[in-house]
Amino acid sequence: MDQDARQDGIDPRQDRPLDIPAAELAGLVEATAQLAAGYWSGLDQRPAYPRTGGGETARLFARPWAEDGRGAAVLEDFSAIAEHSRPSGGRFFGYVFGSGEPVGALGDLLASALNQNVGAWRSAPAAVAVERAVIGWLGEAVGCPGFTGSLCGGGSSANLMALAMAREARLPANEDGVRPGVVYASEQVHMSIPKAVALIGLGRRNLRLIPVDADMRLRVDALEAAIAEDRAAGRTPLAVVATAGTVATGAIDPLRPIAAIARREDMWMHVDGAFGVLASLAAPALFDGLSEADSLSLDAHKWLYQPVDCGCLLHRHRDVAQTTFSHSGDYVRALNTDPEEAFAFFEESLELSRRFRALKLWLSLQYHGRAAFRAAIARDLAHARLLEAEIAAHPELELLSSGPLSAVCFRHREKDNEALLRRLIARRRVFLSNATIDGRFALRACFVNHRTTEDDVREIVAEVIAAAGEVNG
Ligand SMILES: Cc1ncc(COP(=O)(O)O)c(C=O)c1O
């Protein structure tokens, strides 16, 4: 060993320094599998939220990256990380967050083991074919057969890609630079839409937030009036975003009338279905008009219960996707006589290096079969209706929103609901999040959780009443 190498402890002759001998690797895999299995089987016993505050959590995991490896002992950290994590158990009802179906998680492990770059067939032949097949399943499952698209990190990325495509379709920016166009969405729209409008250079002042009706659905008359006003002022209506499952209450905008307006006005119609669209597996009638959309977002890490991340953009315009996302223009060049082999996701979506997200769907969706997912979604819907009935049976509680999907907003009539929610979370038996409904602070439960039982649902009301007894005024 030369002098320099000895000083920094590096032996340059050590071949393959990160390689793990096969027997040791098998042991590591086994130990990791046991950790995962133990975690899943013990989920019911875990509190709904960790006790640790922010400072303590940071202190627990603040440590230097040591010069010497710890080997398999590093897996011992999993127990502390799990203890101070928010568990994916049946009593978590916050946000819109899927429950992490275990076969999907195993799919993520295998996807990382394969380590494919799913940017193009050339770098990931089977993975590209699997993702394209899964995209076909998803399109067909939501009543939009023939739609194409790609998987992505989540609804926010899908919405961003959709609005970039809308702009390129109606006011092409690649040639002429960004020209202002107006995007319309209901005032209940998810924050990822204003973000996307800003990121594609339109500026948030070119987003019109349209008032909603008593059911929190975009008002079609107000949309028409806003479009007419913009046209009269010489502005160009570009796109309308309909939401199929608003994040606060799960409202579904009137898709068919909005589609008719978009067609008449030559606007792109995007449906943000990140929360709700997958419920069409169990309740397709709720989504009448969906297939009229130019594009739609959905999140398999929400209502297909997959571990994050697993978003999806579906659309009907491969040509627009290519003009929006291809930098090289290679998609028009015959790289290969076989169109399957010439296919590149990076020529029609945002990312170049891409995870093999489709493998978890491939395994999980086929392991359980379509009927099981339909039944799980139907059960989530039934749980939401059960909670509404429980709330109605308790006069001290007031229901603030109901149906048609699985978000339920309510409040305690006499208590400070913000203090109540803090107390409820501190009790750690159920986890709810919050929303603002007509200016009022609401407790919000959302059911996208295959582990939840009817008892868990009843526990929500019992816990709210118990927490109310522990807060003043
Ligand atoms: C309606 C809606 N759109 C978009 C998103 C964003 O999705 P993601 O968190 O996967 O980026 C959400 C998340 O809750 C949502 O409810």
- Tell me the CATH number at 213: 3.40.640.10
Pair of tokens at residue 398: 């007031």
* Burial of 28 from C-beta contacts in 10 A (0-12 / 13-18 / 19+): middle
pLDDT for the residue 405: 98
Average pLDDT over residues 20-49: 96
Q: Please give the pLDDT value at position 87.
A: 87
At position 330, the amino acid (one-letter code) is D
Q: How confident is the model at residue 1 (pLDDT cuts 50, 70, 90)?
A: very low
- Does residue 447 form part of some domain? no
Residues 80 and 50 sit within 8 Å (Cβ to Cβ): no
**Is 79 a member of any domain?**
no
The rounded distance, in Å, linking the Cα atoms of 223 and 258 is 9
Chain centre distance of CA 265: 30
Give bridge partners of residue 435 from the DSSP assignment: 442
129-150 per-position pLDDT tens digit = 999 999 999 999 999 999 999 9
| Residue 450 in this model has a pLDDT that exceeds 60 | yes
Q: Whose CA is nearest to atom 7 of ligand 1?
A: 155
Instruction: Out of 52-56, 127-131, 173-177, 276-280, pick the least confident.
Output: 173-177
Residue 51 placed within a domain: no
Measured from the CB, is residue 104 less than 6 Å from ligand 1? Answer: no
Query: Does residue 179 fall inside a structural domain?
Result: yes
pLDDT value for 338: 86
Structure tokens at 192: 């990822």
Tally Cβ neighbours within 10 Å of residue 337.
7
**What's the whole-model pTM score?**
0.95
Q: Is the CB of residue 185 less than 8 Å from the CB of residue 218?
A: yes
Give me the phi and psi of 465, to 5 degrees please: -65, -40
Candidates 93, 95, 247: which one to mutate for ligand 1, based on the most atoms within 8 Å of Cβ? Answer: 247
Q: Measure the CA angle with vertex 143, ends 142 and 148; round to 5°.
A: 80
As given in the structure block, the two tokens for residue 418 are 């913000």
Give me the domain span that covers residue 259. Answer: 104-368
Q: Give the pLDDT mean for 201-224.
A: 96
Residue 359 amino acid letter: L
- CA gap 289, 144 in Å, rounded: 10
Tell me the pLDDT band of 289, cut-offs 50, 70 and 90.
very high
pLDDT in tens, 460-469: 999 999 999 9
Phi, then psi, of 468 in degrees rounded to 5: -60, -35
pLDDT in tens, 76-101: 999 999 999 998 899 999 999 999 99
Whether 74 maps to a domain, the answer reads no
Query: Are 399 and 16 in contact, with CB atoms under 8 Å apart?
Result: no
Specify the 3-state DSSP secondary structure of 22: helix
pLDDT digits (tens, 9 = 90+) for 218-248: 999 999 999 999 999 999 999 999 999 999 9
The CA distances from residue 265 to 228, 231, 236, 239, 332, in Å, are 10, 10, 10, 9, 31
Give residue-wise pLDDT tens across range 421-438. Answer: 999 999 999 999 999 999
- Round the average pLDDT of the chain to a whole number and report it: 94
Please check the confidence at residue 388 and state whether its pLDDT lies above 90.
yes
DSSP string, 219-234: PHHHHHHHHHHHHHTT
381 lies in a domain? no
Q: How far is CA 270 from the centre of its chain?
A: 16
Ligand 1 proximity of 96 Cβ (cutoff 6 Å): yes
What is the per-residue pLDDT for 158?
98
Distance in Å, CA 442 to ligand 1 centroid: 19
Answer whether residue 331 shows pLDDT above 60. no
Q: What is the pLDDT of residue 7?
A: 65
Atom 10, ligand 1: which residue's CA is nearest?
154
Domains held by the chain: number: 1
How crowded is residue 231: how many other Cβ atoms within 10 Å of its Cβ?
13
Nearest Cα neighbor of 84 from 109, 108, 61 is 61
pLDDT in tens, 262-279: 999 999 999 999 999 999
Q: Is the CB of 182 under 6 A from ligand 1?
A: no
